[in-house]
């Protein structure tokens, strides 16, 4: 199985649970952030593809290698989640560069993936 097939298999099970902008101390502006619920089975299969024995992968590598950014931008999840204060498409525009990415196990079946834009900071 390739990475694209992995994303295709699980994409309909991925839920966008939050989009928005958050303040970061000493940053030049608020930063874009998104939170997704991802099936843990997708994480296990990703780890098999990478031949990794770690329980959870490197978050930034997972975000980049799965192409979830592009897949989300091109999906109907953008319009389905327009009820958030910040639209998914607006937030995704800022998450193509450097990002902080964290996983948190929610249950035996779900993992929370939080992706936050790395801000520019004011110089001292």
pLDDT at 27 over 60: yes
Long-range contacts formed by 67-76: CB under 8 A, 24+ apart: 67/3, 67/4, 67/7, 68/7, 68/14, 68/36, 69/95, 69/96, 71/7, 71/11, 72/16, 75/11
Confidence band, pLDDT 50/70/90 cuts, at residue 78: low
Higher pLDDT, 76 or 42: 42
Residue 74's pLDDT band, with cuts at 50, 70 and 90, is confident
| 105 neighbors 111 (Cβ within 8 angstroms) | yes
* Portion of the chain with pLDDT greater than 90, in percent: 60
Three-state SS for 27? strand
Q: Judge whether residue 83 has pLDDT over 90.
A: no
pTM equals 0.86
Kindly indicate the confidence band of residue 19, based on its pLDDT and cuts at 50, 70 and 90.
Answer: confident
Structural element, H or E, at residue 73: helix 68-73
């Amino acid at each position: 199985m390739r990475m694209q097939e992995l994303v295709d298999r699980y994409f309909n099970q991925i839920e966008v649970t939050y989009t928005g902008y958050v303040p970061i101390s000493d940053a030049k502006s608020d930063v874009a952030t998104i939170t997704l619920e991802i099936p843990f089975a997708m994480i296990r299969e990703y780890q098999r593809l990478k031949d990794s024995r770690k329980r959870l992968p490197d978050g930034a590598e997972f975000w980049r290698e799965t192409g979830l950014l592009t897949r989300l931008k091109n999906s109907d999840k953008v319009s389905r989640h327009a009820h958030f204060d910040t639209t998914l498409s607006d937030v995704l525009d800022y998450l193509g560069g450097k990002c902080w990415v964290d996983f948190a196990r929610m249950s035996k079946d779900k993992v929370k993936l939080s992706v936050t834009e790395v801000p520019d900071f004011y110089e001292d």
